[in-house]
Structure 1
Amino acid sequence: MRTAVVLFTRDLRVHDNPALAAACANADQVVPLFVLDPALSKLSPNRTRFLHQALADLRGTLRDKGGDLVLRTGDPVTETMKLAGEVGATMLGAAADVTSYAKKRETRLTAECAQQRIALRLFPGVTVVDPGAVRPGGGGPAYRVFTPYYRSWQAQKWRDEVAPPAKVTLPSGLSAGTMPAIPGGESPDAADGGETQARRRLSEWLGAIDEYGDRHDDMPGDATSRLSPYLRFGCLSPLAVADAARSRNAEPYVRQLCWRDFYYQVVNAFPRISTEAYRPGAGDEWREDADALRHWQDGLTGVPVVDAGMRQLRAEGWMHNRARLITAAFLTKHLGVDWRLGAKWFFRWLLDGDVPNNSGNWQWVAGTGNDSRPYRRFNPIRQARRFDPEGVYVRRYVPELKAIGGSAVHEPWRLPAGVRSGLDYPGPLESHRDEAVWLRP
């Protein structure tokens, strides 16, 4: 009787799950396992809530197939090997990943499996294209610039999606463990987790995907997919989403999925992306300003489009991508505050917060990362007038300004003194740079 353990990590789904499919095809008994690591549960209440919802949904799906999701709490490697010994497993499968945390887990699993004579296999599934499959022609472990990576990525042959198993057979007498309670999280309007919810949202999104190229920067229209949290936790297969988008010739959206893969290959080669500048010597002159950082975190900078984005983050555990660029640029390029502090704040709140994309994008905006134009600046007022021309997005998240009509909402400090005095809204923070650059209409 051949028994396999499948360690779920960031692949919380049954559709196009190579590790689960291989185990069900090659073993008589399969133990789907997730280990709750107490060290990670403290990082983000929002993501903990989303994770627990996803686990409950995955357990329900596996039970429908005759199996279950076995839950354990503690060190992932210790608990996995303990369970493998209990069930007499000869095979262990898991999804390969790129972060330092994941690499250390994989190294330890490799050593433990070798000692216990268990065949360990790491499978693709966290990205569309394997992070190590696309390498620069001139050598080096990773592409540093997106466009040449995108060309090589497009030329790659993608693997075939795998079907979900029809049946999952557990060893008899195995305790599945108690499902953790679903915590409240911190964002009242956060999306719900789980593969069922993810597949429903994907189906709805595909009906509007043709408009993505023209409308993805439309801040009030909210015309993006909002699938990023489901991709982050693997409730959706990135490959399946890319296949669906490509079948509809939605290349602008496929390009965004490529950006996600791009940062995974960067982190695969540069795991310290959350703590060190990717470009050596870049960004060494950050300003310490706890007051400015706090006002930015609270959405009280006095620049409406910035404050709207930061308040959306707290309310939903998500932020429109254009708003992410504006708010991150404001903190780093206008207030001169270290990008690591901004990345840490985003990482606390974002449902889709992960190391490659969160830290990679922060470094891109700050000019320390993979941007080929590191001195690029975003004028928040021009950005607001271009992507929220009537101020609909701003008024949605900054109710103090609802009474101001049209685009005037973007610069309340220019209103007549009598009107300004009636607003319960602060004036703009002073920047250490030339305010006239970004306050100019």
Structure 2
Amino acid sequence: MSTRTAIVLFTRDLRVHDHPALATACAAFDRVVPLYVLDPTLAGHSPNRTRFLHQSLAELRETLRGLGGDLVVRRGDPVAETVRLAREVGAEGIGLSTDVSRYAHRRERRLREECERHRLFLRLFPGLTVVEPGALRPTGGDHYRVFSPYFRGWTRAERRSELAAPRRVTLPDGLQAGRLPALPKGESPDAAVGGERVAQRRLREWLPTLDRYDDIHDDLAGDETSRLSPYLRWGCLSPLAVAERAGDREGPFVRQLCWRDFYYQVTAAFPEISTVAYRRGAKEEWRYDAEAMAAWTEGRTGMPIVDAGMRQLRAEGWMHNRARLITAGYLTKVLGLDWRPGVEVFSHWLLDGDVANNSGNWQWVAGTGNDSRPYRSLNPVRQAERYDPDGGYVRRWVPELASVQGRAVHQPWRLPDEVRRRLDYPPPLEVPGADPVWLR
């Protein structure tokens, strides 16, 4: 009897638990090659994510070795390297978790063409979302444009079964696994560490707070959100497994997982989401002000809640979700600057920055995306006073204002002149033609 071999190409699914492609391959084939291809076209976009990726790959290799296998690492074009390896080991087929970005669609299309040319079988698997992007469709449309009806359908949708990690992974004899690159430096000194074990531990430790999620998730100073987003972005955690652990399909935390799926199905239908306004007829009358953009990026706008969020982003490669809404709203609705450079700044720093959620949320805030009230604007002072009432979040990230007590920290321009002069903190940026009432 001949030995059957398959390749599982890892991309943004860096785990062994609830990995449909890996579980199916290990059940159906005698030899399985877990493969990751380091693509030079993706290198250098975000030092933070590169470091997180390499940490996750190192842990994945260790886990696979514990199962008797290994993570095979190659460098170059992922399609060419995958097909080359398949021919080298005599593989019959290739398994891959399907993704939604323009890059992912192009990779899948090219891989399918090459597999057909070399008579290889290609199978795409779920695993990056709770509900597959194409599983829910509105009457007369290819995807949901509004969240609420999508959420109703999503809560009732049938889910696939969660899968255990394979008990054993067996490689072909004599295969050279290849070396992982040296761990690169990230730019954020306090960035979270990548990997499936870290992710599973974080999930276990956070779950006991789930019943308080509705009360704590917007508390900026309390900092009690799950912080699972980087691990979901890289697939160190299965989103389905997280949803199953959380339980209530209509609960506030699970609703956030649904928002994630929502933007994946939007991006699958509208891959230009990072660069083109999603909402037809959206008016884009943006200012272009390099100095204001730099001040926003560096956290020196003179608006404390905005500066706190941007400094947290640079320090941790992560930002509280409420702060993301406030900082993005300030850039687009207060400064009147284009949302696309904001997408790029977040994408550079965020460990969890992906095309679907980063761009989808930016367009929602900017009024060009899926928000049913596109002209709404978030008053940054009111947001700060509501979600950071004692100013603890601002004082943590803007130490120049550490001596300012209570909610006065949110409006330092209102302090007495002699106090304000002692603070090494800039006045709010001036916007031509604007007269924000909260500055009076």
TM-score, scaled relative to structure 2 = 0.98
Instruction: Report the Cα offset of residue 129 of structure 1.
Output: 0.2
Supply the distance in 1 between the matched residues of 2:402 and 2:45 (Cα, whole angstroms). Answer: 34
Give yes or no for contact 2:155–2:250 (8 Å, CA) kept in 1: no
Task: For residues 227-249 of structure 1, give each alpha carbon's deviation from its aligned partner in whole angstroms, at most 9, with x where no partner exists.
Answer: 000000000000000011116x7
- Match of 1:408, SS? helix
Equivalences for 1:229-244 in 2 at 5 Å? Answer: 229-244=230-245
Equivalent residue letter for 1:196: R
Specify the alignment match of 1:197 in structure 2: 198
Equivalent residue letter for 1:209: L
Specify the alignment match of 2:45 in structure 1: 43
Structure 2 residue 394 is matched with structure 1 residue 394: yes
Structure 2 residue 365 is matched with structure 1 residue 365: yes
Instruction: Report the Cα offset of residue 210 of structure 1.
Output: 1.1
Supply the distance in 2 between the matched residues of 1:85 and 1:435 (Cα, whole angstroms). Answer: 66
- Match of 1:208, SS? helix
Specify the alignment match of 1:115 in structure 2: 117
Structure 2 residue 168 is matched with structure 1 residue 174: no
RMSD of aligned alpha carbons: 1.0
Supply the distance in 2 between the matched residues of 1:172 and 1:49 (Cα, whole angstroms). Answer: 31
Instruction: Report the Cα offset of residue 379 of structure 1.
Output: 0.3
Equivalent residue letter for 2:399: P
- Match of 2:95, SS? strand
Correspondent of 1:92 among 78, 91, 94? 94
Supply the distance in 1 between the matched residues of 2:97 and 2:58 (Cα, whole angstroms). Answer: 20
Structure 2 residue 217 is matched with structure 1 residue 216: yes
Specify the alignment match of 2:291 in structure 1: 291
Give yes or no for contact 2:46–2:348 (8 Å, CA) kept in 1: yes
Equivalent residue letter for 1:285: E
Task: For residues 227-272 of structure 1, give each alpha carbon's deviation from its aligned partner in whole angstroms, at most 9, with x where no partner exists.
Answer: 000000000000000011116x771000000000000000010000
Specify the alignment match of 1:381 in structure 2: 381
Instruction: Report the Cα offset of residue 433 of structure 1.
Output: 5.1
- CA pair 257-227 structure 1, distance change in 2 beyond 3 A: same
Supply the distance in 2 between the matched residues of 1:438 and 1:273 (Cα, whole angstroms). Answer: 33
Task: For residues 307-344 of structure 1, give each alpha carbon's deviation from its aligned partner in whole angstroms, at most 9, with x where no partner exists.
Answer: 00000000000000000000000000010100001010
Equivalent residue letter for 1:409: V
Equivalences for 1:281-320 in 2 at 5 Å? Answer: 281-320=281-320
- Match of 2:122, SS? strand
Task: For residues 284-309 of structure 1, give each alpha carbon's deviation from its aligned partner in whole angstroms, at most 9, with x where no partner exists.
Answer: 21101001000000100000000000
Counting matched residue pairs gives: 438
Specify the alignment match of 2:137 in structure 1: 135
Supply the distance in 2 between the matched residues of 1:227 and 1:219 (Cα, whole angstroms). Answer: 16
Supply the distance in 2 between the matched residues of 1:438 and 1:84 (Cα, whole angstroms). Answer: 62
Structure 2 residue 332 is matched with structure 1 residue 339: no
Specify the alignment match of 1:412 in structure 2: 412
Supply the distance in 1 between the matched residues of 2:275 and 2:420 (Cα, whole angstroms). Answer: 41
Equivalent residue letter for 1:177: G
Give yes or no for contact 1:35–1:74 (8 Å, CA) kept in 2: yes
State the identity %. Answer: 68
Give yes or no for contact 1:336–1:432 (8 Å, CA) kept in 2: no
- Match of 1:429, SS? coil
TM-score, scaled relative to structure 1 = 0.98
Instruction: Report the Cα offset of residue 223 of structure 1.
Output: 1.5
Supply the distance in 2 between the matched residues of 1:246 and 1:373 (Cα, whole angstroms). Answer: 31
- Match of 1:33, SS? strand
Equivalent residue letter for 2:351: L
Gaps of 5+ in 2: none
Instruction: Report the Cα offset of residue 434 of structure 1.
Output: 3.1
Specify the alignment match of 1:327 in structure 2: 327
Give yes or no for contact 2:12–2:234 (8 Å, CA) kept in 1: yes
- Match of 1:34, SS? strand
Task: For residues 349-376 of structure 1, give each alpha carbon's deviation from its aligned partner in whole angstroms, at most 9, with x where no partner exists.
Answer: 0000000000000000000000000001
- Match of 2:35, SS? strand
Gaps of 5+ in 1: none
Of residues 206-215 and 320-329 in structure 1, the stretch that sits farther from structure 2 once superposed is 206-215
Equivalent residue letter for 2:229: S
Instruction: Report the Cα offset of residue 393 of structure 1.
Output: 0.1
Structure 2 residue 26 is matched with structure 1 residue 24: yes
Supply the distance in 2 between the matched residues of 1:424 and 1:279 (Cα, whole angstroms). Answer: 42
Instruction: Report the Cα offset of residue 425 of structure 1.
Output: 0.3
Supply the distance in 1 between the matched residues of 2:90 and 2:435 (Cα, whole angstroms). Answer: 67
Correspondent of 2:105 among 103, 106, 130? 103
Specify the alignment match of 2:246 in structure 1: 245
Specify the alignment match of 1:428 in structure 2: 428
Equivalent residue letter for 1:141: D
Specify the alignment match of 2:16 in structure 1: 14
Equivalent residue letter for 1:337: L
Task: For residues 48-74 of structure 1, give each alpha carbon's deviation from its aligned partner in whole angstroms, at most 9, with x where no partner exists.
Answer: 000000000000000000000000010
- Match of 1:62, SS? helix
